[in-house]
Amino acid sequence: MAVTGRKPKPAGQAVTRHKQIHDWVEIPNVPYRSAPKLPERQPGGAAWPAQTKRWWRVISSMPHCVLWAEADWVFAEHTARLVAAFDAGELRLATEIRNREKLLGTTVDFRRDLRIRYVDAAPTEAPGVTNLDDYRNL
């Protein structure tokens, strides 16, 4: 899921002038609704902390989850186990959780590193109505 190479420089500062190999992935800014549910209980039978359930609800509804394969969901579930341990007081896991959240693209900065950009969803048109913009400047 991660893209190799350095982050893109601002326009006009690029050293190379050729087209970049990896372009931005534009995702409609619509919450993802088809995520798998978090298992009823953690391995070992413990209940999930409320903060971990909240974390899962936020992570699993990010618009770019539409790109995830089964392996990405397994990775996210394993990360949820670490978040549950962190919420239970194991603060030493903070760095690992941050590293995993970077790979999952949980923040604007992390999504920029993955070259994922949210775009506004295209407005839906009423069926049977002609869009006059299609006929301008003919």
pLDDT in tens, 75-92: 999 999 999 999 999 999
Other C-beta atoms closer than 10 Å to the C-beta of 26 total 12
Q: Is the pLDDT of residue 3 over 70?
A: no
The whole-number pLDDT of residue 7 equals 75
Mean of the pLDDT values across residues 13-42? 85
Mean of the pLDDT values across residues 84-110? 96
Q: Where is pLDDT greater, at 45 or 22? A: 45
How many Å apart are CA 78 and CA 107, to the nearest integer?
19
- φ, ψ dihedrals at 119, nearest 5°: -125, 155
The whole-number pLDDT of residue 17 equals 65
pTM of the entire structure?
0.73
Q: Are 6 and 115 in contact (CB under 8 A)?
A: no
User: Looking at 4-99, which runs of residues are DSSP E strands?
Assistant: 25-28
Determine what percent of the chain is predicted with pLDDT higher than 70. 86
Q: Are 29 and 116 in contact (CB under 8 A)?
A: no
- 108-136 tens-digit pLDDT: 999 998 999 999 977 666 667 777 777 87
